[in-house]
Structure 1
């Protein structure tokens, strides 16, 4: 009895819409239900339904079966039930009906209504019916969110990650920062070259955070066109544009209560930066084609290989957005800055790919390891990983005795003091050589270098190779 009293007496943060042509019924119902729910809207004209549904996301809709005097065939109720479900396929509709219309109500339930209540009703029966419907609505929303999350996570499943490998001072500093920031909800900005493991840092923060039991959602902003930005991040409603065949939650919404990782944030244009900033400030989002505001609550982690602070000075990145996303800043060191970790990384990847391709456990000659430590690794750990995978596949013996088996070309060591040469010059020369080997095929070259096509195009543009 105590549980029932608590359930019935606590104010429910729910929105209820009642549509009936009888003003007395509407006013009586509102007077009772407004004590129980955060919003109760009444309407006598069913033609207002589309406008009301566009303005609010109702948890429960109570719909009368007949609106014209002398008409009791329920056709109006069927019509407006279809209209409601067309606008919001997940709507929860309870029919209001008289005793003689029970058969019509049962038929309507087969067409999408979830329950019916007879007039005149008892208040506690009405309340119990609405509370059950609210629970159903919440369950439907959760199922839809889980379905969307599952689809997104299925896309990510082919991108496995492992814990950090390395004992260098540079990587230990990263560990310390992760430990300090993980338990907070502070926004984190991760800076570093391509292939250094920025997403790995983001996932490590999520795994150690209070949101670990919720979703970690990744968005590669470098791969999303401006035209798709709003649909992908904000979501859309059915009919919002030509290919919008059903309602779709955006990444902001899916990530709610979890962590949202925005990769390549430096690639956003200024107009899109402004839209992102608005969402981060208001913590609400509207799906494309809808004016309903959906509250969101996620932990934000961003990453980029671009110099955002310089871009702010050059008016290419909004300063207020930078302040918003970098409460804590973590810089991932390049592989050149942690060359002592290369032997550990080589061993780790050799074990992984030997198991994957069912090869005998392989080793690398110490002289080769020394050469690889002197190599520049422009693609960083991602390049190293692909190099080891290729070597495991191609090497015939159990010992890798040539650095060229890993790199594919004679290893050019990092410039010494006797050879004045900038890192940019080395990078340009290496990209030129790689493009030449792949006969100008950018996709194959990017794959060989362990980076995305977008990242390679950006570096080619930087060095005047386009």
Structure 2
């Protein structure tokens, strides 16, 4: 016996009896009514899998209009129920009309028992498939909301930040590739999310990938996916980040960390808008909005021969430079207050405030770690606070503004960090100049700063 729930509606009681006898041995639950006006009194109509509905109920009438009327009524009450129309007067145009109105199928009286059962069972399978599709769509919608949910916001109203957000608003409605640059901790991913949030793809997913964390051997698998058996650990087919972001936005962070070989593979995917899974030879088209970010000087890397010029042109249709926090002095206290409220709530602290001396300390510091450093500084101050007022001593800042080695750093890492902070501050955040002074490459300087800020 199949797990199906069926409602039969026909004014001929002989038909009802015959169908009940036929179906009771095949399906779990059968209910019959002889008057379509009783449809409104049927309990939980949407729980039925199938409704077998006669098309004519009045004597001498064979137009099928009555059946079409009740079909619409049923679909309004229970949109996902599969309705199979029944009539003794077959006509192709009537069948087509019924299907257009939402009927699943159409059978003629007298029916062939075997064909009728096959029709009903097929309709039940269709009903189950529709329910599964609906559940999957609901789950997909929920997952997209979760993935796109961003607990952080772009805080501030300084002139330089407002200028960046104005550019973002202009670019967001298009599908052009965007390159976001800026120092570590400036909020490049937040800008990328804002581009997605205000774009026509905002209802789709935002997939972020840290390119610096992907090894060269796993690059293709992570971005393009793989087929089962493509390599030792490939135990099932797996979609890559390009496929996962299809229809939405793909954000490639730290793109300056890619080797020339992986740059060539990425360029091919961006140019052709197709990917090929590892272990397959089938091209899969992808529709994405591409946003990349880096703290590297890509034009200089092109000159140095470590970044492809053609890839730079592909990803750099629009360039957005995120300003460092030291250029957003007006936003420092606004951000400090935002993180103060956030962490007092998170850690269950009583109302805290920052006194004037503390504000002055925050404003005169150059924030080499940018917004990320400010966030960590505020969190640490809230956690260690003992009173209701945060004093200057509650804020533990880098010695970068007033470097002195008289106190003696205790480790080589501390010494290195002090030297880097001093060089960066001396050159007002110009990493190229700081790297020359320190005798290291710009990329090495970026990597060291990233290590110290994490």
TM-score, normalised by the number of residues in structure 2: 0.59
Q: What is the CA-CA distance between 1:371 and the residue it aligns to?
A: 1.5
Unaligned runs of 5+ in 1: 1-124, 416-425, 434-453
User: Cα deviations across residues 256-294 of structure 1 (Å, max 9, x unaligned)?
Assistant: 100000000000110100000000111111111111111
1:162 aligned residue = 152
TM-score, normalised by the number of residues in structure 1: 0.58
2:193 aligned residue = 203
1:323 aligned residue = 313
1:296 aligns with 2:286: yes
Kept in 1, the 8 Å contact 2:400–2:418? The answer is no
Return the alpha-carbon distance in structure 1 between the equivalents of residues 390 and 444 of structure 2.
30
Return the alpha-carbon distance in structure 2 between the equivalents of residues 367 and 327 of structure 1.
45
Return the alpha-carbon distance in structure 2 between the equivalents of residues 318 and 241 of structure 1.
29
Three-state SS of the structure 1 residue aligned to 2:179 is strand
2:105 aligned residue = none
The structure 2 residue matched to 1:429, chosen from 393, 418, 429, is 418
**In the superposition, relative to structure 1, how do residues 369 and 173 fare at CA in structure 2: closer, same or farther (>3 Å)?**
same
Three-state SS of the structure 2 residue aligned to 1:330 is strand
Three-state SS of the structure 2 residue aligned to 1:236 is coil
Q: What is the CA-CA distance between 1:386 and the residue it aligns to?
A: 0.8
Unaligned runs of 5+ in 2: 1-117, 404-414, 423-442
1:284 aligns with 2:306: no
Q: What is the CA-CA distance between 1:312 and the residue it aligns to?
A: 1.0
Return the alpha-carbon distance in structure 2 between the equivalents of residues 247 and 455 of structure 1.
38
Q: What is the CA-CA distance between 1:198 and the residue it aligns to?
A: 0.2
User: Cα deviations across residues 336-369 of structure 1 (Å, max 9, x unaligned)?
Assistant: 1112210100000000111111111211111111
1:81 aligned residue = none
Return the alpha-carbon distance in structure 2 between the equivalents of residues 285 and 457 of structure 1.
31
**In the superposition, relative to structure 1, how do residues 281 and 225 fare at CA in structure 2: closer, same or farther (>3 Å)?**
same
1:369 aligns with 2:325: no
Return the alpha-carbon distance in structure 1 between the equivalents of residues 253 and 245 of structure 2.
14
Q: What is the CA-CA distance between 1:379 and the residue it aligns to?
A: 1.0
Return the alpha-carbon distance in structure 1 between the equivalents of residues 224 and 295 of structure 2.
25
Return the alpha-carbon distance in structure 2 between the equivalents of residues 283 and 460 of structure 1.
35
The structure 2 residue matched to 1:179, chosen from 169, 193, 203, is 169
1:407 aligns with 2:374: no
The structure 1 residue matched to 2:329, chosen from 334, 339, 361, is 339
The structure 1 residue matched to 2:344, chosen from 350, 354, 358, is 354
Return the alpha-carbon distance in structure 2 between the equivalents of residues 149 and 249 of structure 1.
20
1:235 aligned residue = 225
Kept in 2, the 8 Å contact 1:363–1:398? The answer is yes
Kept in 1, the 8 Å contact 2:179–2:293? The answer is yes
**In the superposition, relative to structure 1, how do residues 153 and 220 fare at CA in structure 2: closer, same or farther (>3 Å)?**
farther
Kept in 2, the 8 Å contact 1:145–1:249? The answer is no
Q: What is the CA-CA distance between 1:245 and the residue it aligns to?
A: 1.1
Return the alpha-carbon distance in structure 2 between the equivalents of residues 241 and 145 of structure 1.
34
Kept in 2, the 8 Å contact 1:365–1:399? The answer is yes
Kept in 1, the 8 Å contact 2:353–2:389? The answer is yes
1:245 aligned residue = 235
Three-state SS of the structure 2 residue aligned to 1:190 is strand
Q: CA RMSD in A?
A: 3.8
Kept in 1, the 8 Å contact 2:208–2:252? The answer is yes
Q: What is the CA-CA distance between 1:209 and the residue it aligns to?
A: 0.2
Return the alpha-carbon distance in structure 2 between the equivalents of residues 251 and 306 of structure 1.
23
Kept in 2, the 8 Å contact 1:215–1:255? The answer is yes
Q: What is the CA-CA distance between 1:161 and the residue it aligns to?
A: 3.8
1:458 aligns with 2:452: no
**In the superposition, relative to structure 1, how do residues 414 and 205 fare at CA in structure 2: closer, same or farther (>3 Å)?**
farther
Kept in 2, the 8 Å contact 1:149–1:254? The answer is no
Q: What is the CA-CA distance between 1:162 and the residue it aligns to?
A: 2.3
2:429 aligned residue = none
Return the alpha-carbon distance in structure 2 between the equivalents of residues 380 and 413 of structure 1.
14
> In the TM superposition, what are the counterparts of 1:13-92 in structure 2 within 5 Å?
none
User: Cα deviations across residues 55-88 of structure 1 (Å, max 9, x unaligned)?
Assistant: xxxxxxxxxxxxxxxxxxxxxxxxxxxxxxxxxx
Kept in 2, the 8 Å contact 1:145–1:254? The answer is no
Three-state SS of the structure 1 residue aligned to 2:401 is coil
Return the alpha-carbon distance in structure 1 between the equivalents of residues 344 and 332 of structure 2.
18
**In the superposition, relative to structure 1, how do residues 221 and 412 fare at CA in structure 2: closer, same or farther (>3 Å)?**
closer
User: Cα deviations across residues 75-131 of structure 1 (Å, max 9, x unaligned)?
Assistant: xxxxxxxxxxxxxxxxxxxxxxxxxxxxxxxxxxxxxxxxxxxxxxxxxx9xxx9xx
Return the alpha-carbon distance in structure 1 between the equivalents of residues 332 and 381 of structure 2.
16
Q: What is the CA-CA distance between 1:249 and the residue it aligns to?
A: 0.4
2:203 aligned residue = 213
Return the alpha-carbon distance in structure 2 between the equivalents of residues 461 and 167 of structure 1.
26
Return the alpha-carbon distance in structure 2 between the equivalents of residues 287 and 149 of structure 1.
27
Return the alpha-carbon distance in structure 2 between the equivalents of residues 457 and 338 of structure 1.
21
Q: What is the CA-CA distance between 1:314 and the residue it aligns to?
A: 1.1
